[in-house]
Chain A
Amino acid sequence: MKLMWFHLMPYTRLPEDFRERHNSVWVDLDRRLFDPAFAHQLYNEFMDELEYAAALGFDAICVNEHHSNGYGLMPSPNLIAAALARRTSEAAICVLGNSLALYNPPTRVAEEMAMIDCISGGRLIAGFPVGTPMDTCYAYGQNPSQLRARYLEAHDLVLEAWTRSETFAFNGRFNQQRYVNIWPQPLQRPHPPIWIPGGGSVETWQWCAARDYVYCYLSYFGYKAGRETMMGFWREMERLGKDRNPYRAGFLQFVGVAESREEAMRLYKEPAEYFYGRCLHVDPRYANPPGYNSEATQRAKITSQVSLAAQRSATMTGGATWDEILAKGFVIIGSPDEVAEQLRTVATDLNVGHLMLLLQFGNMSRDLAGYNSRLFAERVLPQLRGLFDDAWQDRWWPTPLPKAARAVPQPVDAREAAE
């Protein structure tokens, strides 16, 4: 079982009346709400938290990509990952974006991820989401009708750039590059593990199976809502003759740990309500550009979670209530033992070996995020760590350089060279 610490990097000062006064947390979010001096503090606090999580012994620290988004301040997760690569030494660095179709040429993604892999000594997990409609079609102006074809082609280009041994020409439908030859190349061979965060489309599952990639369902709505999707995933794996190795899958869960459930109720109500109220206030105008969902997905009547959030936004005057957040398992809270027991159920029920934990969410302070993370690391994580490992091997985890071969960041002493 891998326990991974995930940061969305939410802006924590959306006003209390955000839902009433503002149109959307995404795409046309009010620019006047952004304070760069505050963001300076925030980025540094968030990176402190990620570094702390690595120091606490979480298996990985995770970042992702969003654009024009008030709950995700990482248009470029690679920048954060590069900084984390220097300040951590053991944790895997899981970059669950880059949205491949957004980069021209996509070779840039191959290069930057190769850089992170080299800097970190081979600790990178390379995530390739298609990206939400808000991020890709609206904030980045990509054509919804071409997005998936561009994504798949960009994936092929990145993979070739990582694995081919000579300079090559790429003659794609959307990308043509006469000379592809990336320097640096990734440290992990043949390439860093590839994980695919996606909605619930059958095509994505089939693609992950065919390529032997990890499928991640990043649900904001907890394991109860995610169950149907994960069951569908495993049914499809079975149909395709794949084993039930839980490490084929990743799942995201919000968690709040305290000494007691009462204490957890007191501590995590506000940040949870902040996230489900203000952060998921998405204008439904941006949820369904024509062509974003394939006709097969439309026929299967699969609705993406951003689309669900947008529908909720359109039909509800307030966000989800604390009662609903708890009852539906959006956030799992309780004492360390209670949380461990619930997460064991989530992991075994959904059969996921990679559990991504949001232990900072909404406007949670650094202190509380630290407390939540420490309690989790010390008293929940040990109860879960061995799960699945008697029966299954994680073939999708980074293979870093041996410790002795890894560089240790150290200050330059200018006098030494002259001596």
Chain B
Amino acid sequence: MSAPAERSVSVNGVPCRIWEKGQGSPVFYLAGIAGLPRWTPFLDRLAERHRVVVPSIPGFPGAAGHDRLDQPLDWVAAVLDLLEGAGLAGGDLIGASVGGTLAAEAAAMAPGLVRRLMLIAPFGLYDKASPPADPWAQKPGTLPALLSARPETYAAFVAPPEGSDVGEWSIAATRAGEAAARLLWPLGDTRLERRLHRIRCPTLILWGAEDKVLRPSYAERFAAGIAGKSTLRLIPDAGHLADLDAPGAAAEAVFEALD
């Protein structure tokens, strides 16, 4: 994997990292619950055919400023600033997990901004019969198996690179957890469901068949609420972070939706 190019855009006066790689029609990606401590094989697959643009959401690796976002509206405005600043203007947008929530909010609140939307297991809805699992109340060592069907892949994804400052790496990882919690704690209904009808663009909904955080039944509720033509795809042998667990299958599904 070659390294992505890096620039930044300012959101509320705080710089947010933008990674970019590949050629072709642009596709934007908002990352999941841990953010992107490093580039991933899924993004590399996309970069084989597209210019992949990856803005970091405030508080996630590469971007600070989550501590000034108090209300959902603050978050939506920040993400719109981020996406517009990164150059999304009527382009294609993928959002995974936490990033999926904000991608869906952005598409609902600024319908002209997104041409085609791809959501990978976003948070935001609440099913009383199957509430989200709580990633912030896990016994030490159990989080990887909750988030991923391949815990060792997840562990490697978040592990500090050799020679890095382990203490600061761990603080950045905690900060990502905090940012996600700041937006979603305590994982109740964010009212996104009431805004789904404003998503009028074609939408692909991807879900890991083995998602233990948000059961795949949530996928159908997203599909039912979205006004645009929605396609639902379950990815076998993948957990909540489906694009990390099954980069090939996830990328193929995206290519089908885009090409």
Contacts and interface: CB of A to CB of B under 8 A. Distances in A.
Interface stretch (B11-19, B44-52, B172-180, B211-219): B172-180
Contact of B178 (A141, A283, A284, A291): A291
Sort chain B's interface into a size bin.
20 to 34
Contacts of B137: 138, 285-286, 289
B138 interface: yes
Interface stretch (B76-84, B181-189, B240-248): B181-189
B167 interface: yes
B181 A145 contact: yes
A290 B181 contact: yes
Q: How large is the interface on A (under 10, 10 to 19, 20 to 34, 35 or more residues)?
A: 20 to 34
B186 A141 contact: yes
B139 A295 contact: no
B181 A143 contact: yes
Interface in A116-170: 137-138, 141, 143-146, 149
Interface string B58-77: 00000000110010000000
B181 A289 contact: yes
Nearest to A311: B140
B171 interface: yes
Interface string B118-136: 0000000000000000001
Contacts of B170: 298
A299 B171 CA distance: 8
Given A291-B181, A291-B182, A174 B70 contact: yes
Nearest to A173: B70
B174 A290 contact: yes
A213 B125 CA distance: 44
B107 to A, nearest CB: 25
A145 B185 contact: yes
A231 interface: no
Contacts of A290: 136, 174-175, 177-178, 180-181
Contacts of A314: 139-140
Interface in B237-256: none
Interface string A244-286: 0000000000000000000000000000000000000001111
Contacts of B70: 146, 173-174
Contacts of B139: 283-285, 314
A184 to B, nearest CB: 32
Nearest to B136: A289
A286 B182 CA distance: 17
B129 to A, nearest CB: 19
A131 B140 CA distance: 22
Contact of A285 (B66, B67, B138, B181): B138
B172 to A, nearest CB: 10
B178 A144 contact: yes
Contacts of A145: 66-67, 178-179, 181-182, 185
Interface in B110-156: 136-140
A379 B241 CA distance: 64
8 contacts: A144-B178, A145-B179, A174-B70, A286-B137, A289-B136, A291-B174, A295-B174, A299-B171
Interface of A: 137-138, 141, 143-146, 149, 173-174, 283-286, 289-291, 295, 298-299, 314
Given A143-B181, A174-B70, A295-B175, 5 more contacts: A141-B185, A145-B178, A146-B182, A290-B181, A291-B174
Interface of B: 66-67, 70, 136-140, 167, 170-171, 174-175, 177-182, 185-186
